[in-house]
Amino acid sequence: MTAADNPGVNTRNTILFTAMRLYAEKGLQGVSLRSISSQSGTRNSAAAHYHFGNRLGVIEGVITLILDYLRPAFEKGISQVEQQPAPSLRDIVQAVFSPYLALSVHPEWGRWALRFMAHLHTDNSPEIAAILNRHFRLDMERIEALLHRVRPDIPRDLLRIRLAFCLVNVVHGSAEVDLLVDTPFGNIRPDDMTLYNAFLDFLEGGLGKPCPPAV
């Protein structure tokens, strides 16, 4: 059975994309299930509740939707790096962060996805943190193991902190990249490829900075 054969699947996806847009625009606290149902065009004013149970169910559904889209590119990139006999730090950075950076360009809902993920950080709660940890822990452990393999000179606890900072910066920076058109320096927004490489430079530098010698 395809999605076209199953109206429930289409309704669920419509609700999730509507929720993603509304959360991106208004934050996680400013959107009710009723408004999601209403703006998704469903006839049932309680459709979001019916399909996802509660607000956390909708939020987790949106997270799953985004990660399902990102998974093939992430898996391909990270697997290729894992199979290399001597990968570089740049190889890891490109494999891990490129799928997220690409959301600022494609697909058309990519910016919503980035702004939604930015709100997951700023509007966080213990319940949302638990959802994020459940979805991201295995990937983070996999990335951290690769980073340690390439940079064994950096303590693992410091690598984890740097990785967490990088993830937050990627999401927030990609979500608001158009702010670069109006800065104290004027319009400094370059073309997409230049911006992409500049972001990778920034991430590589932050992750790989040598530790100062012990005193």
Domain that holds residue 190: 56-208
Please report whether residue 22 resides in a domain: no
Please report whether residue 20 resides in a domain: no
Please report whether residue 113 resides in a domain: yes
Decide if pLDDT at 4 tops 50.
no
Please report whether residue 186 resides in a domain: yes
Q: Predicted confidence band at 172 (pLDDT cuts at 50, 70, 90)? A: very high
Q: What is the mean pLDDT of residues 71-88?
A: 96
Q: What local confidence, expressed as pLDDT, does residue 9 receive?
A: 54
State the pTM of this model. 0.90
Q: What local confidence, expressed as pLDDT, does residue 215 receive?
A: 62
Q: What is the mean pLDDT of residues 203-211?
A: 94
Q: What local confidence, expressed as pLDDT, does residue 190 receive?
A: 93
Task: Name the residue with tokens 């360009």.
Answer: 105
- Please, are residues 211 and 158 in contact by the beta-carbon 8 Å criterion? yes
* More reliable by pLDDT, 88 or 4: 88
The per-residue pLDDT for range 33-69, each reduced to its tens digit, is 999 999 998 777 788 999 999 999 999 999 999 999 9
Please report whether residue 159 resides in a domain: yes
Using N-to-C axis directions, what is the helix angle for 156-175 and 89-102, rounded to 10°? 30
Q: How far apart are CA 13 and CA 66, in angstroms?
A: 11
- Please, are residues 57 and 63 in contact by the beta-carbon 8 Å criterion? no
CATH number, position 187: 1.10.357.10
Q: What local confidence, expressed as pLDDT, does residue 122 receive?
A: 87
Please report whether residue 154 resides in a domain: yes
Q: Average pLDDT over the chain, rounded to whole?
A: 91
Of 20, 54, 21, 19, the closest CA to residue 37 belongs to 19
Please report whether residue 89 resides in a domain: yes
43, 90, 123, 159, 207 from 153: Cα distances, Å = 59, 16, 35, 10, 12
Give the number of domains in the chain.
1
Q: What local confidence, expressed as pLDDT, does residue 5 receive?
A: 38
Decide if pLDDT at 127 tops 90.
yes
Question: Looking at 36-45, 147-156, 183-192, which range is the least confident one?
Answer: 36-45
